[in-house]
């Protein structure tokens, strides 16, 4: 009998998701936010996502015999609980609670999980429940799906789990071994999140803006080294300034923040104006540098021996979404291969927990060639979405959607592209994308005016053919899922400025025919028409929205923006009849 494993995430109150394995093959993975249409789906359980995964696999709920979750009980004897208590002595209620009422979040999640399984018609008596420590789930997501005969060093850098937030270890023969963990409140991600909050952004969404603005500042103009330190054995944040709780927290308009009044006294008022102004742009640069520097020190100190032996480093956790950190990790002289899990945030722990459970049962996992793991739709369903929409968009069937899209793009049009199964993870990878010609004059302004409304200093990401990437990007810094920034030569910076960050890097998706044949074919058609084998690739969504999932979602979004063309499967959708020629 097949081992059918359902992984469920969302134990820490955000980014619930579901993933389903049949034996060692990952069949489906979906984030709840895509189905609820509410970004991060905070305080929700992955009910719709789990149901959709079961449907994609062609199974019934009764077929599932194993459920895995990325949360586990932590013993009273564990130093994790006592460390948390010791470091929060100034809030005695929290300190005592962490020791004597530890695992509260786990117990609450188990209670919620029982209700979820009942709602899904999965009977507890028929399934094995596998509880996986949160950082082990992150570690499994990047190691077990990329398992090698060689040792693989593992670095998980996360905001929070049960108590642990940094994991350093290695994988060998399918087993993950811990070398070192660090516990709350001593969190590198927490440090970055606190400054994100101070710089006026929402945590979970604002960190990438801080990272994006960092190259515009001078990291040496202001010294932020007092926020955290690593002395070779102890990593510690200054929780008189950041990662504060209780009375130490800075409060404004009845809202508590992740930093203290002392931080405000040291740095000045929380940003309310232009981020590019002094001192805030320099604070962004300084926190990015401090974050990178400490991360590299941790990796070097704890993992260098393993890396010198094999050169393989796998990373996951919310903090590994920082593409500039990933670039520096790849640049370490003893790192030959950097493996970044494409869904490295908490949604990815649904995959990680399930992968860990499958591997524990003795089944080796199949490599995952792409992240197109969500639902797909046919042209008939896309036509139905147009017919049923209140605004009645014009639609027509296409014999060759690739050539039509390439033709529109070559003439400077933006094209919403909806084709194949939905991506899992934070990046649009060519199945739910807004595409544009990178050589079109003023194209960034056009995208911002019509749909995205992004800050003017933020470049767009390119998707490019693997054959084109050979000429533009250094081999060591190519990534198929936009998980790492890459330096770009002066020649290509001049030719494609819309892709280029202030520091001369870009975040590119390398598209291969094997991983994404549809998107590859479109890029080839565009190259044949224009000589350029790359396109601007922005997510198919409006600002603040989750990535589009269904044809109905796509038509709603299309009609609510100034976009003029959308191709869904083999259907061209317009708000007016497309012209015969230009």
What's the mean pLDDT in 99-107? 78
Q: How far apart (Å, rounded) are the C-alpha atoms in residues 9 and 32?
A: 10
pLDDT in the model for residue 11: 79
* 581: pLDDT strictly greater than 60: no
pTM of this structure: 0.95
Average pLDDT over the chain, rounded to an integer? 94
Q: The domain 188-339: what is its CATH number?
A: 3.30.420.40
pLDDT in the model for residue 85: 86
- Higher pLDDT among residues 317 and 450, named by residue: 317
**Structure letter (DSSP) for residue 570:** T
What's the mean pLDDT in 394-405? 98
What's the mean pLDDT in 190-211? 94
Is 573 buried (19+), middle (13-18) or exposed (0-12) by CB count in 10 A? buried
Tell me which H or E stretch contains 28: strand 25-31
What's the mean pLDDT in 401-412? 97
What's the mean pLDDT in 543-561? 96
What's the mean pLDDT in 271-288? 93
Nearest Cα neighbor of 23 from 384, 315, 461, 364 is: 364
pLDDT in the model for residue 579: 52
Token reading at 208: 């990438």
Of 38-47, 89-98, 166-175, 242-251, least confident by mean pLDDT is 89-98
Q: Looking at domain 379-574, which of 3.90.870.20, 3.10.150.10, 3.50.50.60, 3.20.20.20 is its CATH number?
A: 3.90.870.20
What's the mean pLDDT in 371-400? 97
The neighbouring-strand residues paired with 566 are 416, 573
What's the mean pLDDT in 442-459? 85
Give tens-digit pLDDT for 513-523.
999 999 999 99
* 199: pLDDT strictly greater than 60: yes
Q: Is residue 418 helix, strand or coil?
A: strand
Give tens-digit pLDDT for 367-376.
898 999 999 9
* 474: pLDDT strictly greater than 70: yes
pLDDT in the model for residue 570: 98
Domain residue ranges in the chain: 4-149+342-360, 188-339, 379-574
Instruction: State the pLDDT confidence band at 577, using cuts at 50, 70 and 90.
Output: low
Q: In percent, how much of the chain has pLDDT > 70?
A: 99
What's the mean pLDDT in 92-115? 83
Tell me, yes or no, if the two domains 4-149+342-360 and 188-339 fold the same way.
Answer: yes
What's the mean pLDDT in 135-159? 95
Instruction: State the pLDDT confidence band at 465, using cuts at 50, 70 and 90.
Output: very high
Of 26-40, 67-81, 101-115, 434-448, least confident by mean pLDDT is 101-115
pLDDT in the model for residue 96: 83
- Higher pLDDT among residues 543 and 52, named by residue: 52
Whether the Cβ atoms of residue 70 and residue 350 lie closer than 8 Å to each other: yes
Regarding the domain with residue range 4-149+342-360, which homologous superfamily does it belong to in the CATH classification? ATPase, nucleotide binding domain (3.30.420.40)
* 576: pLDDT strictly greater than 70: no
Q: Is residue 536 helix, strand or coil?
A: strand
* 580: pLDDT strictly greater than 60: no
* 425: pLDDT strictly greater than 70: yes
Give tens-digit pLDDT for 500-513.
999 999 999 999 99
Whether cis (ω within 30° of 0) applies to the bond prior to 185 is yes
Whether the Cβ atoms of residue 91 and residue 245 lie closer than 8 Å to each other: yes
Whether the Cβ atoms of residue 8 and residue 350 lie closer than 8 Å to each other: yes
Give tens-digit pLDDT for 57-74.
999 999 999 999 999 998
Whether the Cβ atoms of residue 250 and residue 241 lie closer than 8 Å to each other: no
pLDDT in the model for residue 234: 86
Q: How far apart (Å, rounded) are the C-alpha atoms in residues 582 and 580?
A: 7
């Amino acid at each position: 009998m097949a081992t059918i494993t359902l992984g469920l995430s969302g134990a820490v109150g955000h980014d619930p998701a579901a993933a389903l394995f049949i034996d060692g093959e990952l069949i489906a993975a979906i984030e709840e936010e895509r189905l609820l249409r509410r970004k991060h789906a905070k305080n929700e359980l992955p009910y719709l996502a789990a149901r959709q995964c079961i449907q994609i696999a062609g199974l019934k709920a009764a077929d599932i015999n194993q459920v895995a979750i990325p949360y586990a009980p932590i013993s009273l004897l564990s130093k994790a609980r006592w460390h948390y208590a010791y470091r929060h002595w100034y809030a005695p209620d929290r300190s005592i609670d962490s020791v004597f009422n530890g695992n509260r979040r786990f117990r609450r999640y188990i209670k919620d999980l029982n209700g979820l399984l009942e709602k899904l018609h999965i009977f507890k008596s028929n399934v094995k429940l596998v509880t996986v420590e949160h950082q082990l789930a992150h570690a499994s997501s990047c190691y077990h799906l990329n398992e090698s005969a060689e040792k693989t060093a593992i670095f998980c850098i996360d905001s929070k789990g049960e108590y642990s937030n940094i994991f350093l270890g290695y994988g060998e023969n399918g087993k993950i071994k811990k070398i070192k963990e660090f516990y709350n409140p001593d969190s590198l991600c927490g440090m970055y999140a606190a400054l994100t909050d101070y710089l006026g952004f929402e945590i979970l969404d604002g960190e990438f803006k801080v990272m994006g603005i960092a190259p515009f500042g001078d990291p040496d103009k202001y010294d932020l080294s007092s926020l955290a330190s690593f002395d070779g054995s102890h990593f510690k944040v200054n929780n008189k300034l950041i990662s504060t709780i209780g009375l130490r927290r800075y409060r404004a308009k009845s809202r508590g923040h992740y930093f203290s009044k002392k931080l405000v006294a040291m740095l000045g008022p929380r940003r309310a104006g232009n981020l590019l102004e002094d001192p805030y742009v320099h604070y962004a640069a300084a926190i990015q540098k401090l974050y990178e520097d400490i991360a590299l020190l941790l990796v070097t100190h704890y993992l260098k021996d393993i890396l010198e032996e094999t050169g393989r480093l796998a990373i996951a956790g919310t903090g590994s979404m920082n593409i500039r950190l990933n670039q520096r990790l790849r640049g370490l002289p003893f790192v030959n291969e950097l493996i970044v899990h494409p869904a490295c945030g908490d949604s990815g722990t649904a995959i990680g927990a399930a992968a860990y459970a499958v591997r524990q049962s003795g089944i080796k996992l199949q490599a995952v060639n792409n992240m197109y793991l969500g639902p797909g739709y046919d042209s008939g369903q896309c036509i139905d979405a147009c017919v049923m929409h209140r605004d009645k968009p014009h639609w027509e069937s296409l014999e060759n959607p690739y050539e039509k899209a390439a033709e529109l793009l070559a003439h400077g049009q933006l094209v919403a592209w909806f084709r194949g199964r939905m991506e899992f993870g934070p990046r649009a990878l060519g199945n739910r994308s807004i595409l544009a010609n990178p050589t079109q004059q003023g194209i960034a302004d056009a995208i911002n005016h019509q749909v995205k409304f992004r800050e003017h200093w933020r470049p767009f990401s390119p998707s490019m053919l693997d054959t084109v990437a050979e000429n533009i990007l250094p081999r060591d810094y190519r990534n198929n899922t936009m998980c790492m920034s890459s330096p770009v030569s002066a020649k290509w910076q001049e030719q494609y400025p819309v892709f280029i960050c202030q520091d001369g890097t870009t975040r590119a998706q390398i598209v291969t025919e094997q991983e994404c044949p549809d998107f590859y074919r479109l890029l080839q058609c565009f190259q044949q028409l224009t000589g350029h084998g790359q396109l601007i690739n922005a997510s198919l969504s409006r600002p603040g929205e989750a990535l589009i999932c269904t044809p109905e979602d796509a038509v709603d979004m299309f009609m609510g923006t100034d976009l003029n063309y959308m191709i869904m499967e083999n259907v061209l959708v317009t708000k007016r009849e497309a012209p015969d020629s230009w």
